[in-house]
Structure 1
């Protein structure tokens, strides 16, 4: 467990802080208390604790004259297993909302990879037409929350994200319409009364909800969504249509691409491999349109590199004329995480590829030494990159003549 703290306010320090005492013990039983002296740092990693156990911690500041008052005890649990916190959690596996007149009851299930990646809590966002007005954070053990003091007969959008110390994961969205003051039924009011609402001017439609991006390949994503202004069976019987838009954030000034659909899904193709895209949808019916929906995210699958390693250079190693150093840069279109390179070299640029000497390079290194070459001889070098999907194209052959000189 990592314990962090801030020093006492300057006015209360009564001299220079020379260190801290950190005390900790198991919470359940008033067991033995351990004490660690910490130099003038503001954190301490406590190791060797028992799994799946709650510990309590308190900190005391020290000057040359002695110790000050202790903080309150603060508790934290160790995990049952060591989990990964080098990345954010996945999105929660489900989100359900139950609207009442002035409350909405939100319930959810944790991310499917909760037993691999740390979840420290959940962030619930909500607001009229947008989930960004208010945010509430709850503990990782919590599975439901009641949003209170809402307006009756109002359209709210709710977002749910799992978070850990790396940040917040991708959100899950849901929308709900709070009931009328007089309503006691389980019926969705906004569907039942929709045909009785006179609309003198085109009023905005409700945006599509539950937009999901399902990755189908390295260049294809299926978008699906729901429309709360349709009946429960989501059957489209009028002339409405949907507009999907998508873009990537690399480079930052990328423009949206758009396409129309008359159904509740759209197949987006022509995307770049191994690239994070954002997607949103709007609905149009006659002169009326909605705002854009909440954003869904998806990263396309990897594909083999489609360009060769670049900036290949060869130099001789100082003091070792029979050793050369090959340097290069990754391919511009890596289409995934590069897992290694293969260097080919030969004295005959026209030789069949299987006659070239091969030097594999593991991982993402961008330099490699080749030894025991013949002096004063022209060599040709090519490099090929690979990722989880296979090998990319080869770089153009680079000529390098080894130096003349004494054999070493």
Structure 2
């Protein structure tokens, strides 16, 4: 009774030690690789890859996502997810706010080390343009507006219009078509022409940036009725400009110049420039610009892209036809997107096959690809091993690697202007080396042994054929030979 409690504690300790040694309780040794992106003003989307068996050290049963606003680092929120999840969207966040996020994987025992903090800003909410006004005429609508409250964040404006007849008998057999026009950032007005008299229209104007469209300002109204047909020279539309010429200025801009019409039949107040990628049939890709002079610098274009350009003259409440189309290409630039679909395949313990696809936006002719690889992600980029391949090659075998080692790869593309961004890092595990016999060395050994045995047999045959008995010394010498 005196020592019973002590013995029980000892037995319990020994049993617990045996369980720990037989079934080690471990957590993952590395965090998942996390990618984040803002999909709306109040959402951030997280995507990660499952851990390999080497790093999970057991079945991953859950993940934990930690996040906080950058200006409130002391307040950290956490969300736990199931182990079979590979993506998650944080909602109800604040627009135009920088957040920091990280992720950790966990087994039944607990969570492993979390990833490094990554920062992501939620998408900026773009407000609708203010003071939208439309001046109606018989066949035209003169649309004017004022900039959005956060105008400095926008890339331009879009204007759409369609017939909005409320008579259900009129629209029973047809669906109104919506026309969308892309306008530059400085635009404050646009003249819609070629409309139907005494018809109701719906006009929408909204701002946009590189990722999304903002809220739209809406106007509904009717064009004027025809009360009488005007006569005289002022009723005819102005003639189109002449000598339209385009010259590439940079990878994103083109100079367009023209001359006044050869014959002036109407007072011209300004000019409208139509710009669209060559061969496009999508009306949303057509942009219109207004100029009061005989030239304009078209900005915000895509690099290494052919554009179709035309100019028309505008009179008072009347617009003329467009001139003939001229085609000009913007200059090349460095790639704006990395190579796609980077894939790795270990061929053996010392080589890996690396393959990829060209960038989605090369912005020119790809002249070379650069392959970087390392065994340590924490090393700076200039310490990674690198290979260079011609721009027409999309796979390469990397040799001289170590067996049983995890390698990290990324690929970047270059034009004659410069290098673009690298692809996301992808890893591969080389197998352990397998030692194989050298077939040539083995063959040589076998041939040598066979020749030696044949010589021994010949010596024995010659010794027995001789009538005189040989001494033991002679037989031993023959055996040695």
Q: So what's the TM-score if we normalise by structure 2?
A: 0.40
Which has the larger helix fraction? 2
Which has the larger strand fraction? 1
Q: So what's the TM-score if we normalise by structure 1?
A: 0.47
